[in-house]
Amino acid sequence: MKWQQLCNNPNLKDLPFKIELNEQGQIIMSPSRLLHGAYQSEIVKQMAVLLQEGRIITECAIQTPKGTKVADVAWFSSAQWEQVKHEYDSPVSPEICIEILSPGNSKYEMQMKKRLYFAGGAKEVWICDETGSLNFYGKKGRLGKSRLIPGFPEQIV
């Protein structure tokens, strides 16, 4: 299955799950808790205050060699957004890709997603744990804070 087919399928439009595709085009569904959505909205709110340009996206579908992955929150620069805004799933990674951990996420899964996002052109990948603590990563490893949004807090509530 391709991402556009999944998006246009009327039987899948109201599912209460995060949906991704693996490299064989199979659907992967991940249920999330209310706290997941609360962290997602708080990250968006904080980003909106600190950023002067670009586009913040929730549930951002990104093409990767291992299928379409969906970052919980993402940020595209204005120039990059203009290039991808009409796509079903972005052919390149946004500059910032953020994953909010759910109980079912494995360490391996998060490591793989980081590698895929960086390979697609991401500048930073952020991981928010189940307590609202954020870890920021660049291509070469963990960062003390975001380089693209230096004022972003390490803990959200």
Let me know if residue 1 belongs to a domain: no
d(CA 89, CA 62): 5
65-78 burial string, b = 16+ CB within 10 Å, else e?
A: ebbbbbbbbbbbbe
pLDDT of the residue at 79: 97
Q: Confirm whether 135 is domain-assigned.
A: yes
Question: Does the pTM exceed 0.95?
Answer: no
Read off φ and ψ for residue 152, nearest 5 degrees.
-70, 135
User: Quick one: pLDDT band at residue 10, thresholds 50, 70, 90?
Assistant: confident
How many residues are listed for the chain in this entry? Answer: 157
pLDDT at 81: 98
| Number of domains within the chain | 1
Token reading at 143: 């960062």
Alpha helix stretches (DSSP H) within the chain:
3-8, 34-50, 78-84, 107-119
The reply to whether 23 falls in a domain is no
Position 17 pLDDT exceeds 70: no
The range of the structural domain enclosing residue 76 comes to: 32-143
